[in-house]
Amino acid sequence: MKTTVDYKSVKYTQDGNTVICDLVSEIRYDKIKHMEFFIDIPDVYAYIKKIADSKGNIVLHTRGVAKCLPTDTFDYETGRRIAYTRAQSKVFYMAADIYDEITRRLHIDIDSVALNCYLAGHKCSQHIEELIEGTNNE
């Protein structure tokens, strides 16, 4: 599976029988297909600008936690893998939410463009009627 998410840093901490993974990930501007197209759509551009850093990259901070039950034997490496996978899962869900929001905003913008085209076509039809009526009155 190919994604546009890069992992920037990972930090593990242990608190007793709990392993915590803090993961910093990034959706890079240059890896988002057709991102340059979004710049021309004000609502999408405003959303991306609001959540992106100065380079246009979207930085995601997630935390995964693995707690060892009292009935289990604590294993730090297993805890790390579980905590990392939980943090990674959150990254993908956050990225999906971001792409869903971009898509939603695109649909709104496309719908408004379609409506404007329809209205313009209607005005042209009205204008044609006026022109025809004007030639009939001459």
Per-residue H/E/C for 78-125: HHHHHHHHHHHHHHHHHHHHHHHHHHHHHHHHHHHHHHHHHHHHHHHH
Q: How many helices (H) and strands (E) does the chain have?
A: 3, 3
Domain borders along the chain are: 5-102
pLDDT in tens, 69-92: 889 899 999 999 999 999 999 988
pLDDT in tens, 104-124: 877 766 667 667 777 777 788
pTM of the model: 0.70
Structure tokens belonging to residue 101: 């929001």
Share of the chain above pLDDT 90, in %: 30
Q: Who wins on pLDDT, 126 or 40?
A: 126
Least confident of 46-50, 95-99, 100-104, 134-138: 134-138
Instruction: Give the separation between CA 57 and CA 114, rounded to whole angstroms.
Output: 30
Query: Right CATH number for 5-102 from 1.10.8, 3.40.50, 3.30.160, 2.40.50?
Result: 3.30.160
> What pLDDT is recorded for position 39?
61
Mean pLDDT across 21-33:
77
Model confidence at 19, pLDDT cuts 50, 70, 90, reads very high
Residue 35 contacts residue 29 (beta carbons within 8 Å): yes
